[in-house]
Structure 1
Amino acid sequence: MLEFDHDTLGQRVRFASGKAAENLHSEVTRFGASAVMVIAAEAERDIATKVCRGLDPALVYTDVAPHVPVEKAEEARAAATEHRIDLLVCIGGGSTTGLAKAIALTSGLPIIAVPTTYAGSEATNVWGLTEAARKTTGVDTRVLPTTVIYDAELLVTLPAELSVASGLNALAHSIDSMWAPRTDPINQAFAVEAIRALKGGLQVIKADPRDSRGHERCLYGAYLSAVAFTSAGSGLHHKICHVLGGTYNLPHAQTHAVLLPHVLAYNAPAAPEAAERIASAFGTTSAVDGLTALGRILDAPTALRNYGLRESDLDEAADLTTPVAPPSNPRPVTKESLANLLHNAWAGVPPTSKEN
């Protein structure tokens, strides 16, 4: 018999291609904001200018860094206070959204998020900060963006390799949600639908990076993935990635893309029902084979050594990850099993359904 508890987070989603500026203006008006802080990395300045057409921000803030270093968060908080900001608008990927969340965490300011990648942070109440090479994460309703504005046209200039890595990061939210600590039938259903959408959308983008139909499907899948993830909680995959990202400053999306097949291969034999549903979403008989086949089509990243992780870091990484591995993980986690998984991911050894 089914028995579970499920919380649904309150958030407004506006999804329409070519209407980001129109929808943002409408939302800012709805809030009645008088001092808007627009957060966008320098690389996103042109997109931010386009999206903010018709607005008069009190502050445009571009000092964005991956994994949200604490000192960057403190500087951004001070800037928001100095300019008496009453609404945050973040335009960009996960790092940009993360900085907005860091401000909201201490100020309670509302956030309107306009994603330009498939990071999914815009749909979660999870925050993350990095200090002294250690990443800390937490959950707080204050950091959940009040409104998310999705516009596939903002992603058509995203390089294909970044679209692939970011899309696989979104896929990681789905797959991790299938056995995360608070998983339930509702977020599992979202996750399975997200896998289908992301698989199809990423293949369209790989064939033509400027095809907005692929980006629409991926944005839809990324949103569903993030909703599933924030409900189910952080599973083994995300615990490993948080350690690697915070400690070794590895690129977020690529790290997720490399590790996902290995964590799936590790857990799938111990979670046959979840693995079967993942496989069905891929249209294959094996979850691992389905993800691996998609990775080949997409030319997905395969080795952590290509992103700055040294072989000499692996033992420490296993030490740091073992204590934070979820006790509810389908398969017991030991330092030895993690060390083997990390070595395979570092070296680019193809995962198998019998990875241990």
Structure 2
Amino acid sequence: MDTFEYISASHRVVFGTGTLQQLPSMLKTINATSVLILCTPQQIATAQQVQSIIGHDVGVAIFSDATMHTPTHITDAAVLVAQEKGVDGIVSVGGGSTVGLGKAISIRTGLKHLCIPTTYAGSEMTPILGETENGRKTTRRDIRIIPTSVLYDTDLFKTLPVNLTVYSGINAIAHAVEALYATNRNPIIELLALEGTRSLVEALPVLQTDDQNTEARYKALYGAWLCGMCLGSVDMALHHKLCHTLGGTFNLPHAETHVVLLPHALAYNASTPATAGAMAKLAGVLPGSEGDAVKGMNALYKRLGIDLNLKGLGMAEEGVDEAVDIALANPYKNPRGLEREGIRELIRRAWTGEEAGRDTKRLL
């Protein structure tokens, strides 16, 4: 029998439909009486809705310049506003970009941080912060980074565009996939990873054709929550490291980059005996897998009509070798060793958009 360690982060989560109305009481629970509301330029209306619910005397200002990959100069500007307004808390409303900004502000200032996610990114569940400065993205893990409270309201997802629903949902599945073969995995996280993946795999095809399906929205958000807990509880491996490398260096969109790389990183790691058990369990929750997790992931992409590649996201071909160099410059834990030729072939295939497969000789 395996010996394992499970560490649980302590923060409050409110989950359901119409829960946004509980925001005033949640702020009281964390003793936040004056907050800065964070959002992207695209979500000002939602931030204003939040401000209306808690009142302008509590939501004293809105900072709407959150952007992907959490550039440090944006964080500097937001911290300055928080200091000028004298707030004792922050409320982030949005996806990973806004949540990341909230984390960055909180770890710098010690301000309490309440998250209201509007995508399935899962960042709100993790003690991980990725920041970009001078074209390089670095990540760090600190228990103080994890938000104080999280409010999930399925109503906020009704206007999420279908393509973002799919991409964000696959991003969440990526968290669970890596948790299944993380070096510090444990049975608790394995259960969360499989249940989270199963929920998203069932919900995403429904939402693609009926984006107002209440049950599917609920199931997708539930799955994303579980997958986010996986990401925050175990070490990240090849997939996430490559996404951070490519996203920060080439300014690629976060969710779409995860979508492109996931099948290829999965295929790379499926080729080692160390992941055999994890791959078998993953295959069990992927329809059409026939016992092969890579085949099951490819089948899911076909069902969802996903056809993305790094080239189409704006990455130049010469970036392939640059990405390999950066990825190998900072060694990290992965079930299969980081081999230059294999990593290069993985990124090349993701750049062209070729189908992932562990029968690829150049990967072995």
TM range (shorter): over 0.9
How many pairs were matched up?
354
Residue 193 of structure 1 is matched in structure 2 by 195
- The structural deviation recorded for 1:252 is 0.2
**Contact 2:122/2:228 (<8 A) preserved:** yes
Residue 265 of structure 2 is matched in structure 1 by 263
Residues 1:306 and 2:312 are matched in the alignment:
yes
Residues 1:343 and 2:348 are matched in the alignment:
yes
**Contact 2:32/2:112 (<8 A) preserved:** no
Report the TM-score, using the length of structure 2 for normalisation. 0.94
Within the candidate set 314, 317, 321, 2:323 is matched to: 317
Distance in 2 between residues matched to 1:31 and 1:243, nearest whole Å: 35
**Contact 2:47/2:62 (<8 A) preserved:** no
The amino acid of 1:346's aligned partner reads W
Distance in 1 between residues matched to 2:330 and 2:222, nearest whole Å: 30
Secondary structure of the 2:140 match is strand
Secondary structure of the 2:236 match is coil
- The structural deviation recorded for 1:325 is 4.5
Distance in 2 between residues matched to 1:14 and 1:183, nearest whole Å: 26
Residue 281 of structure 2 is matched in structure 1 by 277
Distance 1:31 1:332, change over 3 A: closer
Residue 13 of structure 1 is matched in structure 2 by 13
Residues 1:295 and 2:301 are matched in the alignment:
yes
Secondary structure of the 1:127 match is strand
Distance in 2 between residues matched to 1:118 and 1:159, nearest whole Å: 12
Distance 1:96 1:291, change over 3 A: same
1:181-236 CA deviation, whole Å, 9 max, x = no partner?
32222212211111101101111111211222222111111111111111111111
Q: How does 1:1-356 map to 2 (within 5 A)?
A: 1-20=1-20, 22-55=21-54, 56=56, 57-270=59-272, 271-283=275-287, 284=289, 285-327=291-333, 329-355=334-360, 356=363
Distance in 2 between residues matched to 1:264 and 1:302, nearest whole Å: 16
Secondary structure of the 2:62 match is strand
- The structural deviation recorded for 1:53 is 3.0
**Contact 2:71/2:131 (<8 A) preserved:** yes
Distance in 2 between residues matched to 1:354 and 1:179, nearest whole Å: 20
The amino acid of 1:352's aligned partner reads G
1:312-336 CA deviation, whole Å, 9 max, x = no partner?
1100100111233434x22221111
Q: Structure 1: 5+ residue runs without aligned partners?
A: none
**Contact 1:7/1:231 (<8 A) preserved:** yes
The amino acid of 1:304's aligned partner reads L
Distance in 1 between residues matched to 2:197 and 2:283, nearest whole Å: 10
The amino acid of 1:274's aligned partner reads A
Q: Which 4+ residue blocks in structure 1 deviate beyond 3 angstroms?
A: none
Bigger mean CA offset, 266-275 vs 27-36: 27-36
Secondary structure of the 2:115 match is strand
Report the TM-score, using the length of structure 1 for normalisation. 0.96
Instruction: Indicate the percent of aligned positions where both proteins have the same amino acid.
Output: 38
**Contact 1:180/1:236 (<8 A) preserved:** no
1:135-164 CA deviation, whole Å, 9 max, x = no partner?
011112222111111111111111111111
RMSD: 1.3
- The structural deviation recorded for 1:123 is 0.6
